[in-house]
Amino acid sequence: QFEESGGGLVQVGGSLRLSCATSGFTFPDYAVGWFRQAPGKKREAVSTISTIEGGAKTYYRESVKGRFTISRDDAKKMVYLQMNNLKPDDTAVYYCAADSRDYSGEWYALKGMDYYGLGTQVTVSG
């Protein structure tokens, strides 16, 4: 299970920190990430992070590089996404996700992950 939080309405240039509390699976064994879906668009990978054992390798889609930072806390079974300098194009529902295969972020960007939360709305105005 996933419980996303931290979404909301923010002005252009503002910041938000998304959090995802997980349960029901062996968190350290899973790659995790954030995906988003804007109205009328396909779901897209925003950022992923591999397992700690896999080197905690991160992936970011080009449009968020330098602005977003993903992190994981295996002890708390949490995933975070710090989003800075937000832009109107970042407006979407953001979904926490997990996958047991620990593939590369590029692979997940093409194929997606196995499990998704219900999402949290992020709206950037201005």
Start-to-end C-alpha separation, the chain: 34
pLDDT of 83: 98
Per-residue pLDDT tens for 67-77? 999 999 999 99
Q: What is the DSSP letter of 67?
A: T
d(CA 41, CA 19): 23
Per-residue pLDDT tens for 28-65? 999 999 999 999 999 999 999 999 999 999 999 999 99
Q: Residue 97's closest CA among 26, 42, 32? A: 32
Does residue 94 surpass a pLDDT of 90? yes
Per-residue pLDDT tens for 14-32? 999 999 999 999 999 999 9
CB neighbours of residue 31 within 10 Å: 26
List b or e across 38-59, with b for residues whose CB sees 16 or more CB atoms inside 10 angstroms: eeeeebebbbbbbbeeeeeebb
Q: Residue 13's closest CA among 110, 88, 113? A: 88
d(CA 32, CA 113): 8
d(CA 67, CA 60): 10
pLDDT of 126: 82
